[in-house]
Amino acid sequence: MPPRTRRPAPNPQRNEAAQLADQLQAAGFTKRDIARIIGRDPSLVSQFYTRHKGAAFVPALTHVLTAVQTAGITDTTELAAIAAPRISRRTTTSGTRARVRTKAVLITPAGTGTGRAGAQAIASGSTRLRSLIAEAARRNLRLAFTVRLLKTGYVHPSGSRTDSPGIRRDVIQRADHTEERSYGSSSTGGFDARDFAHRTDQAGGDVTAAIHQWLVETSRIHAEARITHLEIRTWRHT
């Protein structure tokens, strides 16, 4: 008896934003790339398809697609600069600008701030932490962070002072074979937030990738290790 073939699920009519996103993906960009270009979370790009959102981004995506197809531009930072002036806020039925929910940058006047990213945010590059790092850099603050990943992903054994001397909280071992390790503290001076802001910009806004690269470069984790949780802390150096 010949094997049964599955018919593809019916494809509902996609809106213009989804069609433009399809064309950009056909050109080699991912949904995460598209999200970086329009300065939004990748989940919003997915909602072009599932919830028919994205009308406000059509002019920007149209110009971006033209830049890709006619000028051969593939750098997401350059494409983001093309998109930014063409992104307009949606309006209410009365014609006023709609309010949007935003996450405040939680840094006190004294310079202390904390931001965390769990598994779901990690998957999208911990973009919610980008504004925290950028604001810390603007204020010339110090920075420290805690990462969580599988124990086998670390190069040095648990509690190694070579790995993170002067850590704020001891190594925390979890039941799922992951470990939390902290890097930088007020007692050691921490890190210059401007350096990590630059690293984040170089990674296209992907905070997870920027932290991962630093950990690999400094021989603290293996290149294939995957960060599952991330916390950023800031303070003013005195």
pLDDT digits (tens, 9 = 90+) for 29-59: 999 889 889 988 888 898 899 888 898 899 9
Within a domain: 209: yes
pLDDT (average), residues 12-30:
90
Domain extent at residue 67: 16-86
According to DSSP, residue 4 is labeled P
80, 150: one domain: no
Joined tokens for residue 72:
């051969």
The pLDDT, as a whole number, for residue 96 is: 56
For residue 100, pLDDT beyond 90:
no
* Residue 93 maps to a domain: no
Q: How far apart are CA 173 and CA 149, in angstroms?
A: 10
pLDDT value of position 9: 42
How far apart CA 62 and CA 97 sit, in angstroms, is: 22
Length of the chain: 238
The 10 Å CB-count burial string (b at 16+, else e) for 37-73 is: bbebbbebbebbbeeebbebbbebbbebbebbeeeee
Total domains in the fold of the chain: 2
pLDDT for the residue 91: 56
Of 67-71, 72-76, 146-150, 173-177, where does mean pLDDT reach its minimum? 173-177
CA nearest neighbour of 164 among 149, 148, 180, 184: 184
For residue 128, tell me if it sits in a domain. yes
Pairwise CA distance, residues 98 & 228, whole Å: 35
CA separation for the pair 153, 47 (Å, rounded): 34
Q: Is residue 214 part of a domain?
A: yes
Confidence grade of residue 3 (pLDDT, cut at 50, 70, 90): very low
